[in-house]
A and B are shown apart, each in its own frame.
Chain A
Amino acid sequence: MIEAIIINGLISGGVYALLAVGFSLIFGVARIINIAHTAFYMLAAYFIYTFAHLLGLNPFLSVVLSVIIVILIGLVTYKLVIDPVREHGATTLIVTIALAIIFQEVMLIAFGGHFRGVPGLVSGYTEILGVKVTYQYLLTFGVVLVVLLGTWALLMKTKLGIAIRSTAQDREVANLMGINVARTGMMTMAIAVALAAIAGALVAPLRVLEPHMWMPPLVTILAIVVLGGLGSIKGSFIGAFILGFAETLVVFLVPSGAFLKGAVALTIMLIVILIRPEGLFGVAFEEER
């Protein structure tokens, strides 16, 4: 049973991490709490369904096209809706909620409330320590590691990364240093939305495609980023695995209480932030940024 708990905890945590990292990135560097993050994930899933299933395109081509289209949609909405209000935290929050609901309603009109399945990029399963795991889950787990490394490298090793971090630290000083702050914000949004779209491509085949599919993961992601420390990518990564393992433990140890796995995960988050309000890897004061 221990093997099954470890494998399932890792897999579950990996899926959560993929969704949480993009959310954390846009908050960490642009201070935007983008509630529409998982709505972009939902859009990507619908585009993949349209291209791969309805139009019969190659699945990998469908993923590439979907990611590009979702990035463009993300950039347009950032420029037209988020950027004008980004200095006002509460307004940005409300605006992104509105965006998510608009996306949801548009998909509801276009596709109806039918539950659909997105074909996986790979099919079949393998056994690890005697526990069955689908290849799609393994792919997701692998991609989350690559994405995390890639994001770290981008932020730490490139000029764009320096610009993003500078803008996050002090927008005005970054501007005075010659950094194009507006373009940096756009690039950050593009990266975050791309991460959401990649998550859509990998996670959607593991879930059911429907217009409200963005809501359940959003709650978990919020719990993860708060647990890990708002804006800390490392914290989100570790927080995702903590909640993944917590949920798996509930299923294995209290089967008839499996419905409580979400509540248990949220309770862990509450306990952590009561002891350490800034989360596991968050900064205690804004000035420390």
Chain B
Amino acid sequence: MNRVMKGAILLLLACFVMVAAGCPAPVVNEIKIGVIGPMAFVQGEHHWYGAQLAAEEINAQGGILVGDEWYQITLAQVDSNEMLSVTDAATAMEMAITVENVDFLVGGFRTEAVFAMQDVAMGYEVIFLGCGAATVELCTLVADDYETYKYWFRVTPINSSYLGMVDFLLLGMVAEEIRAELGIETPKVAILAEMAVWADSIVAAAYVYLPAMGMEIVGEWRPSPIATEVMAELSAIEAAGAHIIFTTISGPLGITYARQWGELEIPAASVGINVEAQKEGFWDATVGKGNYEMTMNTYARVNITDETIPFIDRFVESAGEFPTYNAGTYEALYILKAAIERAGTLDSDAVVAELENTDRIGTAGRIVFTDAHDVTWGPGYVTGLGVQWQDGEMKCVWPPADGSWEGVVYEGAVDYVLPPWMVEYWAP
């Protein structure tokens, strides 16, 4: 009897402890997504913020429905340190897959590092959605060796060939403005491009296209990507009588360049690619001297789609900063969710097949993947933007507000403005 009593008491105590501790939570299905990028830098931060925002939204809506079961997204932050070491990036990718056991990966920024990370991910047959590197060859690999590289997709940005096309469209628009406002029929162009492989093709194309576009090249300046200032280059460009500086700059040199260009009031419009000018911090970094600098970009406060401005607002609210194209991880998570739900399984091959069928109206345009798993560029798809800094605000100036490019108009776009000191210098 005593034993029965003791047993009953123990049972009661056990029940009491269980009740006191709360009932064990039901088992939650989990999909683990690795967000890989240079986390000490703005690119990695925006990878993370974008993914975090999407994960919160998706989880709040119940998660991802795989067959009949709901899965919650868990994010794993993976610091690739790729700005400083390509080897670190490959190791981080290996760790993410083998130690963190991530199911999918999004992110990557620096081309050399993404190539290394891509190989690791493909080796483990883990789907990797790129949100940073533009090099065409990352997707050419898919076309050349589909079975090995089919797990790679590029979500942002548009590839470097398309970036080149937009680049020349922006240049053409500025040249037209100079013709119309200053009466200069054949604007003179100085090419200022950092000495890097990705810039070579743009420089080579400039020699082909610019004469055909009614422009004259007065010189080509190729500073090192790690150059710290370009005052001598700017003096030489001004001495050459350039009306336009056609920039191809990815690094911090873009800040020094724009600051010195504005402070010295070099009488030439600046247009092209200046990656640092795509960031919200550009205005402060140039101490306001970067006014009128124009660059290609992915996001601006315009209605590319109905998703764009609400996304920007939510991103700014959560991250405190304007999103760069690396925040395309937001898009990547939604694309992944849709593909998994259509596939009804987490099996990589099945999800790849559904990713190939993606057709999503996203925050930067309509996303459809090419056969090489690259994001499609063009009117009606993702177009990219031309933005200009105007009195502290990054304004969308291309596609032109008058719809003169393929009839594409994004609500909120404004007219391009030539720097006033340039107008004063060249005015007839």
Co-complex (A, B): yes
Closest B residue to A253 by CB, please name it: B236
B232 and A12 contacting across the interface, CB-CB below 8 Å: yes
**Shortest CB distance A7–B (Å):** 8
| Shortest CB distance B126–A (Å) | 27
> Which of B38, B285, B286 sits near A113, CB closer than 8 Å?
B38
Across the interface, do A206 and B223 meet the contact criterion of CB distance under 8 Å?
A: no
Question: A12-B231, A252-B232, A259-B227 are contacts. A117–B255 as well, Cβ < 8 Å?
Answer: yes
Q: Answer yes or no: B391 CB below 8 A from chain A CBs.
A: no
Q: Do residues A217 and B285 form an inter-chain contact, with CB atoms below 8 A?
A: no
CB of B179 to closest CB in A, whole Å = 26
| Other-chain contact of A256, B222, B225, B276, B285 (Cβ < 8 Å) | B222
Q: Which A residues, 149 to 196, have Cβ-Cβ distances below 8 Å to chain B? A: none
- The residue from B45, B255, B266 contacting A112, defined by CB atoms under 8 A apart: B45
The complex places the Cα of A132 from the Cα of B259 at a distance, in Å, of 14
> How far, in whole Å, are A256 and B221 apart by their CA atoms in the complex?
5
Measured between alpha carbons, how far is A248 from B232 in the docked complex, in Å? 6
B228 within 8 A of A: yes
CB-defined contacts of A12 to chain B, threshold 8 Å = 231-232
A60 CB–B CB distance under 8 Å: no
**B252-266 Cβ-contact flags toward A at 8 Å (1 or 0):** 110110011001111
Residue B212 lies at the interface, judged by CB distance under 8 Å to chain A: no
Residues of B within 8 Å of A117, CB to CB, are 255, 259, 284-287
Contacts of A247 in B (CB 8 A): 232
- Check if A257 is an interface residue, CB within 8 A of chain B: yes
A217 to B41, CA, bound (A): 22
B228 touching A4 by the CB < 8 A rule?
A: no
Residues of A within 8 A of B45 (CB): 112
A116 and B260 in contact, given A12-B232, A206-B229, A252-B232 (Cβ under 8 angstroms): no
B31 interfacial by beta-carbon distance below 8 Å = no
With a CB–CB cut-off of 8 A, which chain B residues contact A53?
284
Pair B229/A207 contact, Cβ less than 8 Å = yes
The CA-CA distance from A134 to B264 in the complex, in Å, is: 7
**A220: nearest chain-B partner, CB-CB:** B228
Question: B259: which A residues are within 8 A, CB to CB?
Answer: 117
Q: Which of the residues B228, B235, B236, B255 comes within 8 Å of A216, measured between beta carbons?
A: B228
Assuming the contacts A115-B281, A210-B252, asked whether A256 and B231 have C-beta atoms less than 8 A apart, the reply is no
Give Cα A53 to B283, complex, Å: 13
Number of A residues with CB within 8 Å of any CB on chain B: 43
Interface residues in A109-125 (C-beta closer than 8 Å to B):
112-117, 119-120, 123-125
Contacts of B83 in A (CB 8 A): 113
Contact assessment for A132 and B235 in the assembled complex, using a CB-CB cutoff below 8 Å: yes
Residue B233 interfacial (CB < 8 Å): yes
Given contacts A117-B255, A134-B260, A216-B228, contact A255 B42 (CB under 8 A): no
With A113-B42, A116-B285 as given contacts, are A262 and B224 in contact (CB-CB < 8 Å)? yes
In the complex, B309 has a CB within 8 A of chain A:
no
**Chain B neighbourhood of A120, CB < 8 A:** 287
Is A208 part of the binding interface, using a Cβ–Cβ cutoff of 8 Å?
yes
Q: Shortest distance in angstroms between A139's beta carbon and chain B's nearest beta carbon?
A: 13
Q: Is A131 on the interface with B (CB-CB < 8 A)?
A: yes
Q: Within 8 Å of chain A (Cβ to Cβ): is B88?
A: no
Bound complex: CA A209 to CA B285 (Å): 8
Answer yes or no: A108 CB below 8 A from chain B CBs. Answer: yes
A135, closest chain B residue (CB): B263
Is A115 in contact with B222, judged by CB distance below 8 angstroms?
no
A137 within 8 A of B: yes
Residues in chain B near residue A123, CB distance under 8 A: 263, 287
Q: In the assembled complex, how far is the CB of residue A11 from the closest CB belonging to chain B, in whole angstroms?
A: 7
Contact with A along B236-261 (1 / 0, CB 8 A): 10110000000000001101100110
Write the nearest CB–CB distance from A168 to chain B, whole angstroms: 32
Q: A123-B263, A251-B233 are in contact. Are A113 and B284 (CB under 8 A)?
A: no
Which B residues are CB-close (under 8 A) to A115? 252, 255, 276, 281, 285
A216 to B228, CA, bound (A): 8
Q: Are B239 and A113 closer than 8 Å at their CB atoms?
A: no
CB distance from A124 to the nearest CB of B (A): 7
Q: Is B228 in contact with A217, judged by CB distance below 8 angstroms?
A: yes
- Does B125 sit at the interface, judged by CB under 8 A? no
- Closest approach, in angstroms, between the C-beta of B228 and any C-beta of chain A? 5
Contact B40 A113 (CB under 8 A): yes
Complex Cα distance, B265 from A261, in Å, reads 25
Given contacts A1-B239, A216-B226, contact A132 B264 (CB under 8 A): yes
Judge if A232 is at the interface, Cβ distance under 8 Å. no
Q: How far is the CA of A7 from the CA of B236 in the complex (A)?
A: 12
- In the complex, what's the smallest C-beta–C-beta distance from A262 to chain B, in angstroms? 6
Task: Please name the residue on chain A nearest to B83 by beta carbon.
Answer: A113
Chain B min CB distance to A210 (Å): 6
> Do residues A208 and B287 form an inter-chain contact, with CB atoms below 8 A?
no
Inter-subunit contact B40/A108 (CB<8 Å) = yes
The CA of A132 and the CA of B195, in the complex, are separated in Å by: 25
Q: Which 7 pairs from chain A and chain B are nearest by CB? A: A259-B195, A113-B41, A208-B252, A117-B285, A259-B224, A251-B232, A8-B232
- Mind listing 19 A-B residue pairs with CB under 8 Å? A4-B239, A112-B42, A115-B255, A116-B281, A116-B285, A117-B255, A117-B285, A125-B265, A132-B264, A206-B229, A208-B253, A248-B232, A251-B221, A255-B219, A258-B224, A259-B195, A259-B225, A259-B227, A261-B224
- B interface residues with partner A (beta carbon < 8 Å): 38, 40-42, 45, 83, 194-195, 219-229, 231-233, 235-236, 238-239, 252-253, 255-256, 259-260, 263-266, 276, 281, 284-287
Known: A132-B238, A208-B255. 7 other contacts (CB 8 A): A113-B38, A131-B235, A134-B231, A208-B253, A208-B285, A251-B221, A262-B227
